[in-house]
Amino acid sequence: MTETNGYQFGFLDEYAKKEVRRSVLKAIALPGYQVPYSSREMPMGRGFGTGGLQLTLALIGAGEVLKVIDQGSDDSVNAVNLRTFVEMTCPDISTTTKTQEATLIQSRHRIPEKALTERQVLVLQVPYPDALTVVEASEDRRKAMHGEADYSRLLVKLYEDIVTFDEITISHRYPTRINGHYIIDPSPIPRFDVPKMHQSPALILLGAGREKKIYAVPPYTEAIPLAFEDVPFRVEDFSDAQGRRRPCQRCGCRLSYLDEFINSTTGDKVYQCSDVDWCNDQLEMAREQAA
């Protein structure tokens, strides 16, 4: 066992890693089912991605290429913190910011814009693993509802939204049915990212550290957001007053999820790609085309 900074490879003891791997296998075998696991305390706060981190540390090995993003950014404070920790405790791995180079991607709140491939695993950090939490507080009762695929109260919640607001008001963490049975909380990704889960070539693993659950959307599996026949699922709208899709102010892309902020010098509203790597790629491509 390699000793790193006084800690063994992957920080966790081997029993903990074995337990996570076995839970992952079970999660893949039962798409969308929340597998309980003991979940160790990590040296960063519960809620900062300790569930995702335990998955990453249990799966990563020598030669693996890791990308860590938070809000679509490789350089946001939490992404840097997690990446540094993995680098420190896992020598012989390498890290990247490029989506296509990574074999393992840990992310909070986003699925990368670039389509993932079969050789990649996406790990999502999860604060609330259970889509039923909004309608049922007791985990014991929720477990029975999942087993019976009883999602009537969730559908009623959507229906009530439509009656009150003429819109489904769930913005992110949109309930999504996996493989025709379990409904998952896909983690706080925007609705924009939910369709990327459907028939994804990459394995998607979701880890909730504080709530001690692991679940999976296996490759090429159905992932259908909850909706009604006459009220279809809709992603975030980025069109301007004239109904045109806003471009990213930096790279000009009209396909990506956008961050909105105020330009501190001009006071204007500015829209930019939330996925930094994607944005850089688009700029690069534009430059190559111009040359």
Partner 1 sequence: MSYVAIKGGGRAIQGAEALLEYLRTEQGRGGLPLDLETIQSQLRFLHGRVMSEGGLYHPELAALAIKQFMGDSLEAAFALRAYRSTKPRLCESPVLDTGAMRLVRRISSAFKDIPGGQMLGASPDFSLRLLRLELLDESPERFQEIAASWLDDLPDDKMPDSLPKVLDHLRQEGLLPKYKVNLDSEPFDITREPLIFPVPRSAALATMARAETGSLLGIAYSNMRGYGDVHPTVAEMRVGYLPILLPHPVTGEAIEVGEVLITECEVVAMYEESGDHDIPRFTLGYGACFGHNEVKALAMAILDRSLQKGMRDGPANPSEDPEFVLLHIDGIDSMGFCTHYKMPHYVTFQSDMDRLRTTQKKETLKRVKEKQQ
**Binding segment (CB under 8 A) for partner 1, from list 96-104, 116-124, 207-215, 222-230:** 207-215
Q: Would you count residue 33 as binding partner 1 (CB under 8 A)?
A: no
Annotated catalytic residue: which of 52, 209, 248, 253?
Answer: 248
Q: Write each residue from 118 to 157 as x if it is in contact with partner 1 (CB under 8 A), else as -, in one continuous string.
A: ---------x----------xxx--x--------------
Tokens of 132: 């039923």
Note if 253 is an active site residue: no
Q: Which of 144, 178, 141, 175 is nearest to 158 (CA)?
A: 175
> Between helices 50-59 and 77-89, what is the axis angle to 10°?
30
Q: Would you count residue 20 as binding partner 1 (CB under 8 A)?
A: no
What contacts 289, CB < 8 A, 6 or more positions away?
A: none
Binding partner 1 (rule: CB under 8 A), the pick from 22, 26, 46, 198 is: 46
Note if 251 is an active site residue: yes
* Edge-first strand listing for the sheet containing 35-36: 35-36, 213-217, 203-208, 121-125, 104-108, 65-70, 94-95
Q: H-helix or E-strand containing 41?
A: none
Note if 209 is an active site residue: no
Q: Would you count residue 260 as binding partner 1 (CB under 8 A)?
A: yes
Q: Would you count residue 68 as binding partner 1 (CB under 8 A)?
A: no
Q: Would you count residue 239 as binding partner 1 (CB under 8 A)?
A: no
Number of amino acids touching partner 1 (CB under 8 A)? 71
Across the chain, which distance is largest between two alpha carbons, in Å? 62
Note if 248 is an active site residue: yes
Q: Would you count residue 79 as binding partner 1 (CB under 8 A)?
A: yes
Residues from 170 through 189 that contact partner 1 (CB under 8 A): 170-173, 188-189
Tokens of 249: 């102010």
Strand partners, 273: 258
What contacts 221, CB < 8 A, 6 or more positions away?
A: 31, 178, 179, 199, 200
CA atoms within 13 A on the CB side of 38: 11
Q: Write each residue from 85 to 114 as x if it is in contact with partner 1 (CB under 8 A), else as -, in one continuous string.
A: ------------------------xx----
Between 18 and 119, CB nearer to partner 1: 18
Residue 29 one-letter amino acid: A
Q: Would you count residue 272 as binding partner 1 (CB under 8 A)?
A: yes
Note if 90 is an active site residue: no
Q: Would you count residue 37 as binding partner 1 (CB under 8 A)?
A: yes
Annotated catalytic residue: which of 32, 49, 52, 207?
Answer: 32
Between 48 and 182, CB nearer to partner 1: 48
Q: Would you count residue 52 as binding partner 1 (CB under 8 A)?
A: no
**C-beta of residue 237 within 8 angstroms of C-beta of residue 245:** no
Q: Are β-strands 203-208 and 94-95 bridged in parallel, bridged antiparallel, or unpaired? A: unpaired
Q: Alpha carbon of 242 to those of 238, 239, 245, 246, 267: distances in Å? A: 11, 7, 9, 10, 21
Between 84 and 117, CB nearer to partner 1: 84
Between 19 and 64, CB nearer to partner 1: 19
